[in-house]
Amino acid sequence: MKIYFIFCSLMLVALLGYSQANPSVKQSSASKLHKTKVELACGECQFNMEGKGCDLAIRYKGISYFVDGRHIDDFGDAHDKKTGLCNTITKAKVTGEIINGRFKARNIVFK
C-alpha cells in the first residue's frame, strides 16, 4: 500500500509539472506582415514544398508558406523560362498574415 501511495504521488507531481504553461512558446499562430520583403516562387518547384501541381509560395525568414488569396498565374505564365515563378525565385513585398502555416495574402508587389 505504501508503494502504491508513493507511485500515485510521483505521477501526480509529474502531471502537474507538465501542465504548466511555457511562457517562451508563442501562444498565437498568427503573424502579421506589412510591406515585408520576402522571396516569391512556386512552392513545389523552387522551395521543395510538398503539394500537388504548382502553387504560389513565399519564403520568409527561411521558412516557406503556401499563399492563399492569390494564384501563381496571377503573375504571368508560371512556366515561362525567364520570368515564370516555377523557374525563378523573385523578391516581393507582401502584406497579409501567416495563419496556421499558410500566408493569407492581402497584397503582393514585385520589388
pLDDT band at 12 (very low <50, low <70, confident <90, very high): low
Condensed to tens digits (0 to 9), the pLDDT of residues 65-103 reads: 999 999 999 999 999 999 999 999 999 999 999 999 999
Question: Is the confidence at residue 24, as pLDDT, over 70?
Answer: no
pLDDT of residue 1: 73
Residue 70: give its domain's CATH number: 2.40.50
* 98: in domain: yes
3-class SS letters over 43-92:
CCCCCCCCCCCCCEEEEECCEEEEEECCCHHHHCCCCCCCCCCCCCCEEE
Residue 2 lies in a domain: no
- Please tell me whether the overall predicted TM-score, pTM, comes out greater than 0.75 for this model: no
- Nearest residue to 94 via CA among 60, 43, 49, 54: 60
Range of the domain at 74: 26-110
Q: What is the pLDDT of residue 23?
A: 36
pLDDT over 60 at 27, yes or no: no
Q: What is the number of domains present in the chain? A: 1
Structural contact between residues 70 and 83, judged by C-beta atoms closer than 8 angstroms = no
Residue 18 sits at φ, ψ, to 5 deg, of -80, -15
In a domain, residue 1? The reply is no
Read off the pLDDT of each residue in 47-55 and give the average, rounded to a whole number. 95
Residue 33 is assigned to a structural domain of this protein: yes
d(CA 96, CA 9): 49
